[in-house]
Amino acid sequence: MYEAEEKQWWYAGQRAIATALLTPALAAGRGERRLLDAGCGTGFNLLALGRLGRASGVDLSSEALAFCRDRGVRAARANVLALPFADGTFDAVTSFDVLYHAWVTDDRAAAGELARVLRPGGVLLVRVPALRALWGAHDAAVQSRHRYTRGELSALLRGAGLDVRRVTYCNSILFPLLLGRRTLDRLLSREGSDVGFLPRPLEWAFGKAMRAEAALVGAGLSFPIGASVVAVARKRA
């Protein structure tokens, strides 16, 4: 992850989509914003979030936090089921591919914690893997617990008392290729994670597809199917 998340097509493309959704949602804010990345991994997203305000992260993995220190970003060890912050601390909270994980034993409680630390009117952006049909070796390797539908993610955030403003599938343009790959993985009993770099021409082509998707999402288009699902919600004032 540390080696891949800066430039690899999936990480860079998903970051572009998240930025396209989060930036307009924060446009009305005033003063210096406080942002939390809940489950920040090895920390590169904190550098991107730092352009929108004062960004901090938490993660349960001590190894991930060591990489965050190498990057020079603010991060502390904590569980998304019990965030060590007062109510209403942050203007925005992000959670990228965290709630699906086996370590998150209660996603409803985790969503409630993300909502709790948001200030009234604050913005939450959550992304999770989508669709059980895509379950494969990668899910086992990264300790997945669940792949979500758009309706499941919406219901999860509404259950936490949030107003869901936008929910869309993403990584959608490449969905047929991903579905074919995961199906083949199951047939061949392949093991291991998908994290890594593809040959340079594929990196370029897949990255181009993801950037095009980010532009479409930023323009207001929502996709009906995809390998991930992302939602933007706001805490009621």
Q: Percentage of residues in the chain with pLDDT exceeding 70? A: 98
pLDDT of residue 30: 56
Is the separation of the CB atoms in 56 and 36 below 8 Å? yes
Enumerate residues 6+ apart whose C-beta is below 8 A from 20. Answer: 214, 215, 217, 218
pLDDT of residue 206: 97
pLDDT of residue 194: 82
Residue 203 above 80 pLDDT?
Answer: yes
Find residue 148's DSSP bridge partners: 130
Enumerate residues 6+ apart whose C-beta is below 8 A from 26. Answer: 33, 52, 53, 91, 92, 123
- Mean pLDDT across the chain: 94
pLDDT of residue 133: 92
Report the pLDDT averaged over residues 83-95.
97
Give the SS3 label for residue 125: strand
pTM of the model: 0.94
Helices (H), the chain: 9-25, 44-49, 62-71, 107-116, 137-141, 150-159, 175-188, 200-218
Q: Retrieve residue 153's tokens.
A: 């993610």
pLDDT of residue 184: 87
Q: Which fold has domain 9-235?
A: Rossmann fold (3.40.50)
Torsion sign (Cα): 140, 68, 122, 219: negative
pLDDT of residue 129: 97
Report the pLDDT averaged over residues 155-164.
98
User: Cα dist. 81→37, 84, 151 in Å?
Assistant: 14, 10, 22
What angle in degrees, to the nearest 10, is found between the helix axes of 9-25 and 200-218? 10
Is the separation of the CB atoms in 42 and 6 below 8 Å? no
Confidence band, pLDDT 50/70/90 cuts, at residue 45: very high
